[in-house]
Amino acid sequence: MTDRLAIALAQLNPTVGDVAGNADRIAQAHAEAAGQGADLVVCPELIVTGYPPEDLVMRPAYAEACRQAALSLAALTKDGPALLIGTPWPGGGGDPRPFNASVLLVDGAVAAVRYKSCLPNYGVFDEPRTFRPGPLPEPVEFRGVKLGLMICEDMWKPGPAERLVEAGAEILVAPHGSPFRQTAHAERVFQAEARCRETGLPVIFVNQVGGQDELVFDGASFALNPGGIAYRAPLFERSVATTLWERTETGWHCEEDLSLEWEEDDPLVWRAVVTGTRDYVRKSGFESVVLGLSGGIDSALVAAIAADALGPENVRCVMLPSRYTSEASLKDARACAEAIGCPYDTIPIEPAVEAMTGMLADSFLGREPDVTEENLQSRIRGTTLMALSNKLGVLLLTTGNKSEMAVGYATLYGDMNGAYNPIKDVYKQRVFELARYRNEERPAGCLGPEGRVIPERIITKPPSAELRHDQKDEDSLPPYPVLDDILHGLVEEEISVDAIVRRGHDRAVAERIQHLLYLSEYKRRQAPPGPKVTSRNFGRDRRYPIVNRWREKA
């Protein structure tokens, strides 16, 4: 039995399905931790496969490949620190679902396997579909110390911790695959503190980092003593850090190192969308992106995010003017590209517009111009950008914000074209806030230039799609502060129209926004993914039927 332990928190960035690559990432972290004098290296939940693997884990060959990779990693522990890794673990018995397991590797062999017992089935999670639940966990013994393993959701419920302390656990260890949302840090610490109070035991929280489809993982691992947080890992960064633990008269305690502070609000959201964009592009096998730069706030913000994620030289911005594009927009788009340092092209769409309207003239004979002609311009732009994406071998980013996506203020096969949308989960009001923030500060790890990257006029001018003369967004929508508050109530809070009216909103406006929200589900189903930053994104979080005649009225 030992009275001191050096435990490394390995906050790693896996890629789902890259079993061999993830094993290499674990091996590298193991080597770093060995150099730091670690006795044990704790890795995140399902680090061998990456989180979330979804239905992939129900393929028997895949689950077995993950198990074999875990077994092969045991060799690292013959002459080095022990490893605690997360992996699918086949269960047999005719059920294709494996267990979500943590495997302790010591002295070249598997010392223990423990299964996740509480499988989340809410929000972005649907683990009962892909994993089978395990029994309440028993502690594992390492160097005479009983470690209580609580895999992710097991930390968020009291039952597993109660069982572990009853069985003699001395330190609680919680490997996680916990996605970012703006309230994530407070929620995680709150739950860890609850388990700490209930059991009197310290908690080690280890989370993965990086982007995976529409989820972003912020890391933010920590060690928690009964008296409070003792160590914080960095946000949105790979990290391998060894914490020092000592047995005292009152139990095990982590030596404090609180040199790192965690950011909040706009800096946090900015780093989330940058991380999500960088990893989606790079993990998809691309180095560069292209986007339409209109001279408006949304595309300017996306260009700045992409430059911070990939470097300005890897972000090609294209202005696609029509007869309705103002001289101010032409100047603003160029000024923005120059401020960011991106390659910039101008491709007028008027020749294509004339060709398409001429081609359709007979079919449209006798009908007045309407939204059809507006959408035609957007679709010509979308086709042009897709052609550039194909020809240049770069990934196309789309630029619609959450407010627009909520009410369908976007054109299918037009401005919705693209493979990824960095601001899909960012309301319009937050778009303005993030633009102002980035003009004042370049966050850590960002590759774009210092200083103002979005011209002030882009931020202050009234938003417009510029698909007809003198068009403004507020011709079709309520003012964005009104729209965003109504949408937040309908989407994030799921409150009634009556409750929204009691907030001071006009009933007819609230009912119209509700109608547009439900009506636009078919568009959102065809929209590209984007990083989740709010408590409830369109996609994994919110699953409504496409055909839906329900409308709530007084």
Which residues does the annotation place in the binding site for L-glutamine? 122, 178
Binding positions for ATP: 292-299, 399
In the block, which residue shows the tokens 């404090």? 256
Binding positions: 122, 178, 292-299, 375, 399, 404, 523
152 catalytically annotated: yes
HSE (side-chain half, CA atoms, 13 Å) at 95: 14
The span from the CA of 216 to the CA of 199, in Å, is 31
Here the tokens at position 455 are: 């011209």
Catalytic residue among 43, 66, 118, 152: 152
Binding positions for deamido-NAD(+): 375, 404, 523
For residues 289-324, one letter each, b for 16 or more C-beta atoms within 10 angstroms of the residue's C-beta and e for the rest, the string is bbbbbbbbbbbbbbbbbbbbbbbbebbbbbbbbbeb
The span from the CA of 50 to the CA of 14, in Å, is 5
The span from the CA of 451 to the CA of 75, in Å, is 49
Residue-wise DSSP of 385-448: HHHHHHHHT-EEB----HHHHHHT-S-TTTTT-SSB-TTTT--HHHHHHHHHHHHH---TT--S
Name residue 457's amino acid.
Answer: R
Burial of 265 (0-12, 13-18, 19+ CB in 10 A): exposed
Query: Phi/psi zone of residue 466: left (φ > 0), alpha (ψ -120 to 50 degrees), beta?
Result: left
Return contacts of 524-527, CB within 8 angstroms, 24+ apart.
Answer: 524/405, 526/412, 526/416, 527/398, 527/400, 527/405, 527/410, 527/416, 527/421, 527/424
Residue-wise DSSP of 500-540: HHHTT--HHHHHHHHHHHHHTHHHHHTSPP----SSS-BTT
Name residue 320's amino acid.
Answer: L
In degrees and rounded to multiples of 5, residue 48 shows phi and psi of -65, -35
Catalytic residue among 43, 45, 66, 254: 45
Residues 6 or more apart whose CB falls under 8 angstroms from that of 126 comprise none
Q: Give yes or no for a contact between 434 and 301, defined as CB atoms under 8 angstroms apart.
A: yes
- Identify the helix (H) or strand (E) that includes residue 242: strand 239-248
Catalytic residue among 43, 66, 116, 446: 116
As a whole number of Å, the CA-based R_g of the chain is 26
Number of H-type helices and E-type strands within the chain: 17, 19
Here the tokens at position 403 are: 């407010």
342 catalytically annotated: no
The span from the CA of 93 to the CA of 81, in Å, is 34
* Positions marked active-site: 45, 116, 152
